[in-house]
Amino acid sequence: MKLKGKAALVTGGGTGMGRAITLKLAGEGADVAINYSRRAKEAEETVEAVRRLGVRAFAMKADVAVEAEAIRLVDEAAKQFGRLDVLVNNAGWSTAVPHRQLDGLTEEVLERTWQINVKGPIYVTRAAIPHMLKAGGGAIVNTTSVAAYQGAGSSIIYGASKAALGAITKSLARAFGKDNIRVNAIAPGFVDTGFVNWPASVKEKAIAGSPMGRIPTPEDAANAVLYLVCDATGVTAQTIFVDCGVTALHPVV
């Protein structure tokens, strides 16, 4: 039980990769605060699954893109558990906009993507840092994306937002390393969670281009997060690609 007595907050923690991450942390003994924005039923189901593992959990609705709500979320987690040791900034948003269709990058798409994927992690982290300092340190993991490195992904602004989050990860790691707060990231590839309403052909293409002959699962992402939180004690400012080797081993032509 590597996280026994520790407390974690996972944004977007009720579904998909977030749910897998939540359960992975809970399985190592962490109490977990589960944030959601829309899917209350699924979040409460995840809470029950966590409690069956013998640890505490609660779900809280909050829009992390709104600073006041992000602060309220973090403070409630620290209040209920008495501390905050682990933060996983997993909440994100995207919609498919073909890269050549620049007119599809409406002001609404640009603003919402940036608010949730960039400002949200900043707001939540800013609120969490004082609690981690009080606890003597902590671990933060941000969910970026291979889209930040490939010039691909669901939209141009999505890739840009995840690239920004990668830069934020390094800056935070530098700023708080001496406080025993490690900040890292995972960069998942195509994970079939319904995050973006892709047609089946996209999944098939992803599998065909994978060096491992498959796409990453939510469990793969959760395993990487657990490593960064628990075992990577000398690791900070790093990004682990969870893409079954696609980015590193792109096709040779």
The 10s digit of each residue's pLDDT in 84-107 is 999 999 999 999 999 999 999 999
pLDDT at 253 over 60: no
Predicted pLDDT of residue 205 = 86
The per-residue pLDDT for range 67-76, each reduced to its tens digit, is 999 999 999 9
CB contact at 8 A, 29 and 2: yes
Within 34-192, where are the H helices?
Answer: 40-51, 67-81, 107-114, 120-135, 147-150, 156-176
Type of residue found at 53: L
Q: Whole-angstrom Cα distance, residue 176 to residue 188?
A: 25
In sequence order, the β-bridge partners of residue 31 are 7
pTM of the model: 0.96
The per-residue pLDDT for range 110-122, each reduced to its tens digit, is 999 999 999 999 9
Name the nearest CA neighbour of 223 among 206, 240, 245: 240
What pLDDT band is residue 192 in, cutting at 50, 70 and 90? confident
What pLDDT band is residue 252 in, cutting at 50, 70 and 90? low
What pLDDT band is residue 201 in, cutting at 50, 70 and 90? confident
Q: Hey, which residues are catalytic here?
A: 158
Predicted pLDDT of residue 109 = 98
pLDDT at 21 over 70: yes
Helix (H) or strand (E) run with residue 186 in it = strand 181-188
Q: Give the residue extent of every domain in the chain.
A: 7-242
Tokens of 60: 């809280």
* Averaged confidence pLDDT in the chain: 95
Q: Whole-angstrom Cα distance, residue 176 to residue 180?
A: 7
Fold that domain 7-242 belongs to in CATH: Rossmann fold (3.40.50)
pLDDT at 247 over 90: yes
Give the strand pairing for 239-242 and 138-143. unpaired
